[in-house]
Copies of this chain bind each other. A is one copy, B any other.
């Protein structure tokens, strides 16, 4: 309480600075020096808290990959209607992408590592597995309640996640390609129609 865990704070400070650097200079064009400058600390201290650049990057990945499920679960728990739940699932997911575009992009940067670093692949695939499971549970609930048609929840969840990613990607490549909100509406409706039939 009196000692506010300086280590955890520093690590956090450095990880945040790293995200900032990646966003500014690009995934592979920032140096430890940049991070130090951005965090307002010395180069040495980064290696005091992190084994090496790889280790730091794994902490960055944990940071940018880790938060969606928590938010989602919190936002859905008060709802009982599967349709409402799925709506929220999608709208929150899309919102997170838009409001933390930088995080999403940094996340995306790690995709280039999946063939070189087993650990990165693991973190990413686990993250997606959790994300898919969250969605699949909602769909399964809807199927069980007879609200949704009888579909394979895992497959359908993959489809939902795919649409969230795919729509976000095109928007990141060119923000003028569509009005994000409108596109999100179209996408959501398409999903729900597929699960319910004509609305």
Contact = CB atoms under 8 A, between A and B. Distances in A.
Interface of A: 23, 25-29, 105, 108-109, 111-116, 121, 124-125, 128-129, 132, 152, 154-156, 158-159, 161-167, 169-170, 172-174, 177-178, 182-183, 186-187, 190, 193-194, 197-198
Nearest to A189: B194
A134 to B, nearest CB: 14
Contacts of A194: 190, 193-194
Contacts of A158: 167, 170, 177-178, 183
Contacts of A113: 26
B165 A169 contact: yes
A65 B112 CA distance: 16
12 contacts: A27-B28, A28-B112, A105-B112, A114-B172, A114-B173, A159-B163, A159-B166, A162-B169, A162-B170, A162-B187, A190-B194, A194-B194
Nearest to A154: B178
